[in-house]
Structure 1
Amino acid sequence: MKKNPSFQVAKWVLIILVIGLVIWLSRSVFQVDANGIRDWILSFGLWAPLLYIVLYTVRPLIFFPASVLSIAGGLAFGAWLGTLYTIIGATFGAMLSFYVAKNLGKSLVRKKWSGNAARIQGQMEQNGFFYVLLFRLIPVINFDLISYLAAFAKVRFSSFALATFLGIIPGTFAYNFLGSSFVSGNPTIIAAAVIVFIVLTVVPILIRNRWINKQKLE
């Protein structure tokens, strides 16, 4: 039995409106800075790490900026523990995004793409781990968008989860180190954190561009 096309259009319009509303709320109504988040998280005492991980896991559902939460993690727990907690929460959050996207967008997942989209879909299916890993290595690319695209392109869940876990380590450390450096107030540590952040952001981009150019020549 075929579904009414009008119903399909209405469903997607509703989904887009809901997503737009959530983004507007997260950016306009719930405006908080990293210091405010740090203070609120630490107010939970021994439960603070668990709360932080849970927050990072559900973060994709409210479209809250991952960078702000990562910096807050560095401010709250320091560079090393902040990185550990963020990696755990971010990996779970990415897996949740992947699952939600795959279920909400079943028609897109099952759809037979054509043209360039079909070529990209095929490459993502065959080399999903490497594509996800490359994009995860670049902190400036929208974290949740990668999860959604991977789900739509039929990347295997195990490949997606492992690539996400490995790929977010450098960027996560960069953000957490940057956040923790502000706590010290030491100009030398802050300068070092900024340099580390720039290196861990630029180098993966150069590696990714070199790999893409190599693929084009083959």
Structure 2
Amino acid sequence: MTDTSQSMTTKSPLVRYAPLAIIASVAVVGAFVLRDYIGFDALRDNREALIAFRDSNFVLTVVGFIAVYVVIVTFSLPGALIATLTGGFLFGTFFGAAVNVTAATMGATLIFLAAQMGLGDKLRARMETSSGLVARIKKGLDENQWSMLFFIRLVPAVPFFVANLIPAFLGVPLRRFVISTFLGIIPGSLVYTSVGAGLGEVFAQGETPNLGLIFEPHILLPILGLCVLSVLPVIIKAVTGKKEL
């Protein structure tokens, strides 16, 4: 065992659980305190000030936006969807999507690391020593990690914070988590960022954006197609009985 591994295993419970406890505490407080301040109305009422600040401080706006988005995602605060819309509103569809995906991945990674440090090692060890159904589930996930990681990112019904915690509890390597998160959230981010990019016209008409756009057939069906592609290796393995393709 390396010195790094030994230091991780000898950390006190307080040190191991502190990051996860802080995130959970801030999430609970933020859910009550911020829910009336982060929303579509706030974006509409402050749109002119945001645009003016962006035009005079573009780089600072990008950096500040990423920082705020990372905090929202890390602490599971209300407003992640509004933040994505704001990214499109401020930076356009494609650059805004790049900023949104980068910030969301950074925040997700922080949650992943906190969960892995606090509970991941214990749960993984328990699953590895289990038998029966739990052991089969763990084995199946280990053999198809890439497919399952992309699947839970692409399916619109899987909450973002849940998709951050499950891999941490199953011992998914950090590099694999980061890559699958970054690539897997691109389709959904593009959809909502494009909605945000059109908010100027929506505001001018006094309307509200269609946030259910992702569930419309012309959007949902291609995403579901990607979901099927993500689990296709699992299906082929099950049909052919081969462990490797």
Q: Which amino acid aligns with 1:93?
A: G
Q: CA deviation at 1:36?
A: 2.6
* Distance change (3 Å), C-alpha of 1:193 and 1:116: same
Q: Which residue of 1 aligns with 2:168?
A: 151
Q: Which amino acid aligns with 1:141?
A: V
Please state if 1:203 is matched with 2:218. no
Instruction: Return 5+ residue gaps in structure 2 as ranges.
Output: 1-12, 240-245
Q: Which deviates more from structure 2 when the two are superposed, residues 96-105 or residues 112-121?
A: 112-121
Between the aligned partners of 2:96 and 2:185, the Cα distance in structure 1 is 13
Instruction: Return 5+ residue gaps in structure 1 as ranges.
Output: 1-7
Counting aligned pairs with the same residue, the percent is 23
Q: Which residue of 1 aligns with 2:99?
A: 85
Q: Deviations over 1:98-128 (max 9, x none)?
A: 1111101132233235343332322222221
Contact 1:124 1:154 in 2 (8 A): no
Q: Which residue of 1 aligns with 2:31?
A: 27
Between the aligned partners of 1:60 and 1:117, the Cα distance in structure 2 is 30
1:20-169 paired onto structure 2 within 5 Å: 21-31=25-35, 32-34=38-40, 36=42, 39=47, 43=53, 45-46=57-58, 47-65=60-78, 66-105=80-119, 106-112=121-127, 114=130, 115-169=132-186
Q: Which amino acid aligns with 2:75?
A: I
Q: Which residue of 1 aligns with 2:6?
A: none
Q: CA deviation at 1:86?
A: 0.5
Rg bigger for which structure?
Answer: 2
Q: TM-score, normalised by structure 2?
A: 0.68
Q: TM-score, normalised by structure 1?
A: 0.75
Q: Deviations over 1:178-205 (max 9, x none)?
A: 1222222388xx9999756634444333
SS at match of 1:154: coil
Aligned length: 205
Contact 2:87 2:196 in 1 (8 A): yes
Q: CA deviation at 1:58?
A: 2.8
